[in-house]
Amino acid sequence: LEAVRKKLEKISEKFGIPVEFHGVPVFAPDVTRDMIDIRPGEALAVNFPLQLHHTADESVDVNNPRDGLLRLVKSLSPKVTTLVEQESTTTSL
């Protein structure tokens, strides 16, 4: 999280765009809306690298934490979402 903060600070300075970074240091499926500082009128960016392949789906957990995580992100209406995953099969057979 600190590396991401530093990179965003450099980009912010270079382009003169104010940026605040609030990392949430928990396993992605454990994130709740209350943990995120969302302010009306501000652009929200969501970054969750290498998370989905570690998050259980319906084949592992009837609660399907992976879909819950994706629904949460969608409900936040972020302006930007980055998702980085290793190549893998994430469909149930």
Tell me the C-alpha to C-alpha distance, in Å, between residue 11 and each of 18, 23, 24, 73: 10, 17, 20, 24
Q: Which helix (H) or strand (E) holds 73?
A: helix 65-75
User: Is residue 25 within 8 Å of residue 16, measured between CB atoms?
Assistant: no
- Burial class of residue 55 in the structure, from the number of CB atoms within 10 Å of its CB (0-12 exposed, 13-18 middle, 19+ buried): buried
Q: Is the pLDDT of residue 93 over 60?
A: no
pLDDT digits (tens, 9 = 90+) for 10-66: 999 999 999 888 888 888 788 888 888 888 888 888 887 767 767 766 666 667 777
Q: Check: pTM over 0.85? Answer yes or no.
A: no
Quote the CA–CA distance of 67 and 52 in Å, as a whole number.
9
